[in-house]
Structure 1
Amino acid sequence: MNIALYFAKRYLLSRKTINAVNIISGISVVGVLVSSASLIVILSFYNGLENLIFSMYSAFTPELRIEPREGKGFVADAAFVDRVGKLSTVRAYHEVLQERVLLRYGDAQYIATLKGTTFDPAMSNSMDTLLQEGRSTLRQDNEDYAIMGARVQGTLGISLQDESRRIEVFSPRKGVKPGINPAEEFIMRTIRPGGILAYQQEFDDLLIVPMPFAREVLGEFTQVSAIEIHLQPGANVSATQRELSQQLGNDFLVKDREQQNPTLYKIVRTEKWAVFIIIAFTGIIAIFNIVGSLTMLVIDKKKDISVLMGLGAGNDLIRRIFFFEGLLISLIGCVAGLILGFLFCLSQQVFGWIRFGNAENLVTDIYPVDIRMFDFVLVFLTVFVISALISLVSSRLSVRQTVRLS
């Protein structure tokens, strides 16, 4: 058995002649416990929030999207579409035509992104969770409908109950030189508002319309802006992305969900790790209590140190005893904190103690939690490394003077 570890455990559990040593050691354990539990709770709650945001984004965004490497559009002929559709992992795909347009509703105007698609959102059950009002169909009773972002609806003041008014969509006419009559320079079509998407930055300025309507108002009848691909459940997204990239060549980009909106993923993950670093610094301050605890313990065990030196113990053995002492204090607090944090997160998953203040426009009113084993390993290693460094330095400094006096 390791002699240094044996003495460290005996010193940790035995009574001290100086009562302050017990108090400082207890404070050190509690400090590490609270910081470790806080780290687990914060990371688990951010994981749940990350899953919620990504699930809302995924309901609107396809797994893969094919875009031209240069330019705004490309021709999707039969041979091109056949290369996409023949993959066994592809469940469905649809063409997209996207461009900036001017919208007018009454006296209000707004520049939005028109998205024409051959895909009917009403076929996707997940789209219903994103609807704030109205319905998700794009065509009904031989009439075209538009689904708009919350910002489009709010800026223009669009009312779904007013059936007499339509949204006017303006797009510059291609190949027309500026003339006396500005109206001849634009193509104008009207469409009936059908649904409003919940507030989400990624699609707040969108106006989703059927593809034939988009081709008419944009004057584009041959090219498409992108092809959006939905995969089979359980399909390997990365493998399908690589296979499509190889088949299509260097003229096209095949983007997964993260590449389609890198800003969203970067912001969510950056916030999580920023909070982790802040809480970790708080934990470092708590671990520094080990310095005071070891210093007091060395003073309390001066006689034991003299006896050990008389029996032939070297300075290295004495330093290792107090190094393990500091390490044990930290690890006990860390393990207890991990267990406490796990139980708290588990209770939130089961009972949902913590809720959003106003959840009328949210998918869920219970704060989501996602417990991941990686977070426990990360917190444990963080506490272990920091406590090992602090214990090493503290044991050397505390023992040096005492050994010299002994």
Structure 2
Amino acid sequence: MRLPFSLFVGLRYTRAKRRDHFISFISLISMIGIALGVMVLITVMSVMNGFERELRDRILGMAPHVLVSGVGSNIEDWQALEEVVLQNPNVIGASPYIQSETMFQHLGSDQFGVVQGVLPEKIGEVTIVKDHMRNGSFDSLADGSFNIILGASLARSLGANVGDKVTSLFLKETRMSIAGIQPRAKRFTVAGIFETKSEADKGMAFVHLNDLAKILRVTDGVSALQLKTQDVMRVHEVSTSLTEQLDYNYFVTNWTRQHQTLFNAIEMEKKIMFILLTFIIAVAAFNIVTSLVMLVNEKQADIAILRTLGASPGSILRIFMTSGIINGLIGTGAGVILGILLALNLPDIINWIEMTFEMSVFPKNVYFVNFLPTELIWDDVYKIALSAFGISVLATLYPSWKASRTQPAEALRYE
């Protein structure tokens, strides 16, 4: 197949040996620079996506996606409300709960936290807590047992293990005694410890719904109904549809009221990181400008001959653009391949480093996520590749334009 004239000559210039080897060296450096920039950008974006995924799974795995509560009162017939909300195709689970702030006491240690009364058979539909039991079983929360499940950090602070007795002081519930008004106290038996590696581990505990209702003297239903949705990032749409579905008789809120700032910060950090690392590619693209300017100066006589043979300024422009674009294309392609390979294998590389040098890159007692997660999103790869290729194309414009402005008589005067 015959190639277009500009493409044919441009490819010949790219493959031909240069009289000045420094030009070839600059071209090689430009390709390596673009490849490194693309590789680093893909890897960093994959790590950022991995951290966002871990935070989303752990924080939102314990927080209800959507919360439906009564307007000024508890929900009396939560079973009927559950049937209604589950008719929404975006809702995949529902669980009732009663919640109260409390002060945990054990062996002289005090720790403030929250105790939540739940149904063991329902809580697994909306949170990940049943899948992250470190000791004991969540099913041990039987009605009337007054057992309690503690978060790992909370249990560690109290020095409590499975089988120990933990006292809870319910600050909003008081009773009269000889000493005066005192908070209502109740002793629970620790039946299990969960560890989700999230904030819930530090101050949350679970008891059976009916046990907490008896302690708090709640006789008019549950505090709220917590829901799990199909897509955690589309809770605004679900909240709006549920509000309309329930005829505005209930107060519907979602996780964004509490955690939206965190995820907005992560998203902003990703955008800033993308912009900053794109400058690495832009710096490498300057080498394309340099190599093409030097190539144009070297090929002045060839350009003049081509012009006298009838080549138009546009053809000369496309010839040198072809040469520069090939360098950008090779660098971008190599960077994409290396970036994908590094992003997919980075956790294994970090594990190998930790095992080989007997060190911990992310100590458990310091970092919330104690490993290096990665998530390769192909849309990011496409955006990075197109950005790098676009910058490479822009870098060829000025040298190619300068070549197209070459006057044959001036170029051949001293030849």
Alignment of structure 1 residues 107-122 onto 2, 5 Å: 107-120=108-121
CA–CA separation in structure 2 for the residues paired with 1:271 and 1:181: 58
- Name the residue aligned to 2:391: 386
- Identity among equivalent positions (%) equals 24
In the TM superposition, what is the alpha-carbon distance from 1:286 to its structure 2 partner?
1.7
CA–CA separation in structure 2 for the residues paired with 1:335 and 1:259: 42
- In the alignment, which of 191, 194, 200 is matched to residue 197 of structure 1? 194
- Name the residue aligned to 2:274: 276
* Aligned-CA RMSD value: 4.0
Alpha carbons 2:106, 2:160 under 8 Å: kept: no
> 2:38 matched to 1:42?
no
Judged with a 3 Å threshold, the aligned counterparts in structure 2 of structure 1 residues 60 and 311 are, in CA distance, closer, same or farther, namely: same
Alpha carbons 1:64, 1:241 under 8 Å: kept: yes
Judged with a 3 Å threshold, the aligned counterparts in structure 2 of structure 1 residues 338 and 313 are, in CA distance, closer, same or farther, namely: same
Structure 2, unmatched stretches of 5+, are 355-359
CA–CA separation in structure 1 for the residues paired with 2:95 and 2:223: 11
Deviations 1:109-136 (A, max 9, x none): 3332232223447867953543344443
> 2:184 matched to 1:187?
yes
In the TM superposition, what is the alpha-carbon distance from 1:106 to its structure 2 partner?
3.8
Structure 1, unmatched stretches of 5+, are none
Alignment of structure 1 residues 24-103 onto 2, 5 Å: 24-57=26-59, 59-62=61-64, 64-67=66-69, 74-77=74-77, 79-86=80-87, 92-103=93-104
Deviations 1:295-341 (A, max 9, x none): 11111111112223323444444333323322221111101211222
Deviations 1:71-98 (A, max 9, x none): 6x54243653442255577554221223
Q: How many residue pairs were aligned?
A: 395
Judge which range, 11-20 or 203-212, deviates more.
Answer: 203-212
The aligned amino acid for 1:191 is: F
Judged with a 3 Å threshold, the aligned counterparts in structure 2 of structure 1 residues 187 and 180 are, in CA distance, closer, same or farther, namely: closer
The aligned amino acid for 1:391 is: T
Alpha carbons 2:162, 2:193 under 8 Å: kept: no
Alpha carbons 1:147, 1:197 under 8 Å: kept: yes
Alpha carbons 2:31, 2:330 under 8 Å: kept: yes
What SS is found at the alignment partner of 2:376?
A: coil
Deviations 1:253-290 (A, max 9, x none): 55566666324433444444443333322222222211
CA–CA separation in structure 1 for the residues paired with 2:76 and 2:237: 23
TM-score (norm: length of structure 2): 0.78
What SS is found at the alignment partner of 2:207?
A: strand
Deviations 1:205-257 (A, max 9, x none): 22222223333444443254321234689xx9888656433211345455566
CA–CA separation in structure 2 for the residues paired with 1:89 and 1:19: 63
What SS is found at the alignment partner of 1:47?
A: helix
The aligned amino acid for 2:378 is: M
- Name the residue aligned to 2:210: 212
- Name the residue aligned to 2:8: 6
In the TM superposition, what is the alpha-carbon distance from 1:6 to its structure 2 partner?
3.2
The aligned amino acid for 2:150 is: M
Judged with a 3 Å threshold, the aligned counterparts in structure 2 of structure 1 residues 14 and 64 are, in CA distance, closer, same or farther, namely: same
> 2:323 matched to 1:325?
yes
Alpha carbons 1:298, 1:399 under 8 Å: kept: no
Alpha carbons 1:173, 1:219 under 8 Å: kept: no
Deviations 1:50-78 (A, max 9, x none): 4344333454345543246x76x542436
- Name the residue aligned to 1:373: 378
The aligned amino acid for 2:32 is: V
Judged with a 3 Å threshold, the aligned counterparts in structure 2 of structure 1 residues 325 and 217 are, in CA distance, closer, same or farther, namely: farther
In the TM superposition, what is the alpha-carbon distance from 1:22 to its structure 2 partner?
0.5
What SS is found at the alignment partner of 2:138?
A: coil
In the TM superposition, what is the alpha-carbon distance from 1:19 to its structure 2 partner?
0.7
In the TM superposition, what is the alpha-carbon distance from 1:28 to its structure 2 partner?
0.6
CA–CA separation in structure 2 for the residues paired with 1:252 and 1:123: 24
Alpha carbons 1:39, 1:379 under 8 Å: kept: yes
Judge which range, 266-275 or 203-212, deviates more.
Answer: 266-275
Alignment of structure 1 residues 395-406 onto 2, 5 Å: 395-396=400-401, 406=411
CA–CA separation in structure 1 for the residues paired with 2:220 and 2:41: 54
In the TM superposition, what is the alpha-carbon distance from 1:11 to its structure 2 partner?
1.4
In the TM superposition, what is the alpha-carbon distance from 1:345 to its structure 2 partner?
4.0
CA–CA separation in structure 2 for the residues paired with 1:146 and 1:404: 93
- In the alignment, which of 15, 19, 22 is matched to residue 20 of structure 1? 22
- Name the residue aligned to 1:305: 303
Judged with a 3 Å threshold, the aligned counterparts in structure 2 of structure 1 residues 86 and 24 are, in CA distance, closer, same or farther, namely: closer
Alpha carbons 1:37, 1:340 under 8 Å: kept: yes
CA–CA separation in structure 2 for the residues paired with 1:364 and 1:23: 43
> 2:152 matched to 1:147?
no
Judge which range, 216-225 or 367-376, deviates more.
Answer: 216-225
- Name the residue aligned to 2:357: none
In the TM superposition, what is the alpha-carbon distance from 1:386 to its structure 2 partner?
1.9
Judged with a 3 Å threshold, the aligned counterparts in structure 2 of structure 1 residues 16 and 57 are, in CA distance, closer, same or farther, namely: same
Judged with a 3 Å threshold, the aligned counterparts in structure 2 of structure 1 residues 107 and 348 are, in CA distance, closer, same or farther, namely: closer
What SS is found at the alignment partner of 1:93?
A: strand
Alignment of structure 1 residues 286-305 onto 2, 5 Å: 286-305=284-303
Deviations 1:173-197 (A, max 9, x none): 38x9xx9977525322222233333
CA–CA separation in structure 1 for the residues paired with 2:153 and 2:261: 19
